[in-house]
Structure 1
């Protein structure tokens, strides 16, 4: 649960100081640098010496009566230049005996330096102004420290409770009030949080924003490095933070601390953030819950080429994302890889329009078989999609093909690349698996082999029918002798009350078994 805190607005600026009631009593007038009144004021300092700059560290509003500057225009100009070099926020001159009117030398120097210069027309006790501003700044600093500790406590609590990465980012976005983006060192987006429309706006122009964030911090783009043990591996970026820059940096630092700790505690079993990012994107594409067009900025920000490309959706049963990612890297093919349910892995290739999608898919499948040292590995492929909006349907088609052949690649002696037309009856049964009539048919036909101790006989029946009732091949795949296989087939026929040498009866049992397996998967 997000801690409720008053948001911290921008730091106290020169303009805000001049609007304070005590200051207004002195009838302030801006005589130079009016365009710089939004500079933040870090502190208030009273100084008369001409070399005042050596005593400053930047951000101070300097108050003076000019008593040591009267009658010497060179000193007056040098006083202003010294403040400018020290990066003071503004200079406030109290008019009186030393200067009954704004001195031209100081005003001209301030205008050239773009340093806000303010004169007070009525006598004004500087102590009141310093007390007012200092107390406001101290209260603000205390509020910033309180915010820092509240954010750290909230994030640590989430990590201790085992919250996922997204939950941490949502908490950070709630405190910062702006989109939060986590990237790797190549500025590819790994995760985001914040208001959906604002995040989409950021991702839509991510290439420019990434360059801006990489060049430094300014205009609300605040970053903090992610890494540990001397190694950097990413950054967290607050995109368009509208509050005080110092507070934004504080929030970004707290976020970085939490994300590094979360990654360290997650361990290798949790998978890398890159994998999680790809999995989230491909899962959203597969589900169709979010229109593909809305997911395009996420794909582009994740590093997938999307302009003038051909997309090839693939699903590989019984393999790992790491293996497929390695093959993609070896072949130099751009794409996203993500694990799906039941041990399958999805791949979305992005190819140039002039590349041969079928040839590259075949090359990928052949290299995968060699890399996995498994001649039965198959790649379920959908036809290439020229439009991004067609990618979700392609992924669903590839998953459908993969589900239809999963676990049977060796028995079916399938080619390296399998498409919808290759799955025939298996594909149809896969589509009808949830129909109650099909379920009843499967249970009725296989009733004698559905007990907990019948898995071995059911496996033999599955292989026997998948190989076209080839006894030699079935015995070979199950590592049994021909006589032993015959005894098992006789037991199966007795249990089911069928003659497997009869084509129609064998076909009926085969369809029932396909339906049963589809339901179980």
Structure 2
């Protein structure tokens, strides 16, 4: 592609055939947005950037300090270069100006004879306008190529190949958790470019691809940003936009089913056949090698809110998790937003917490509250029912024993043992087998030996610390401990009975918290 006018191309026009570049040779590839005539020493205040300035130096030609200041202001304003006519007002360019131009890569051009600035500016500006029109036309043609690529079977690779051939540079595209897609231009050593991409070398330009405030990938182009022409930069930016659209399409192309499809319901309940499962996962492009599956449940007191906000929540969660390399399948089931996470590498708990906290912030803005339960990760897709079951357990304890917003299965500790006993209907029996006599004693005599036992075991059976914690004298504690020995045995402060009693106390707290309907009848102790 021809691209926009540069200082170099302007020097080859007929208006500049007698002009001479005397400084800033490294900046000749700078693009020129307009030719501007000005004699003001404050010309830098009137520039937008990219201009080529035409002047005679009138007013500051004999003041070297002012001359340097004018050039500095032009550079600061982003001008592409300056042309100075010699022979009428200015007769030589100070060496300090040339040194500054060389240092900054700011082209300084001299006309060694009188020229008509109006003719020069008109001719070059007409060329610039035509050039910009050509750029827009070529960008439009390039965009059509990209649109055709979007419909292909391998859009990412073909898009990178198209960019490579267009700008004649090697390019690479790297997305989260994937190998880079590379297209080599014939003049570049392949291994050198691969190494530069892997090390994010300064010899290549990088362009992040972001969606919803998250980075999903990076496009790498051989050469520094300064080495890219304005036309090439425009083409690269257009490619970045299209890659973003392609990623967006891939993330959200699957239908957002609010109500759970039958096959997903069968999957989380463990009743789906292997063939049917793989067929459905393939339709969603989720039939990949997964490291772990995780189930997250999000609950809110207002079930209708979850339904009303489902589309936004599913899109937001998909984008957030995609940014950390995790695919997500959301749906509404049992009035809860349930999400299946597909992880492809070791995942970071902090990342998940951060995402869920952002969701919590959104709920707060809508004056809603939430509880998020994260189940046990499983490595096999055929064990997803376990991940779902444990997420359910976490949500159960969320609603009974815990008050924080986010709760992981790993953090319910002893309740992982408590719940199966409760589910099987034997938790009360277990608790009463160990604490029944103490409970009955407290009931009959209106005492609180249970609390004494709890504090005593919690303080690792230290009599001094326990007496202090209960605000009683040690003699009173000794009496209570003697009574407990009569009720539950001499060895109640020794392993393993001590551990069994601690577990039974947790079970008692749990049953009380859920408002358990006690089945046993309290016996009187004589």
Q: TM-score range by the shorter chain?
A: 0.3 to 0.5
TM-score, length of structure 1 as denominator length: 0.45
TM-score, normalising length: structure 2: 0.44
> Which entry has the higher C-alpha Rg, 1 or 2?
2
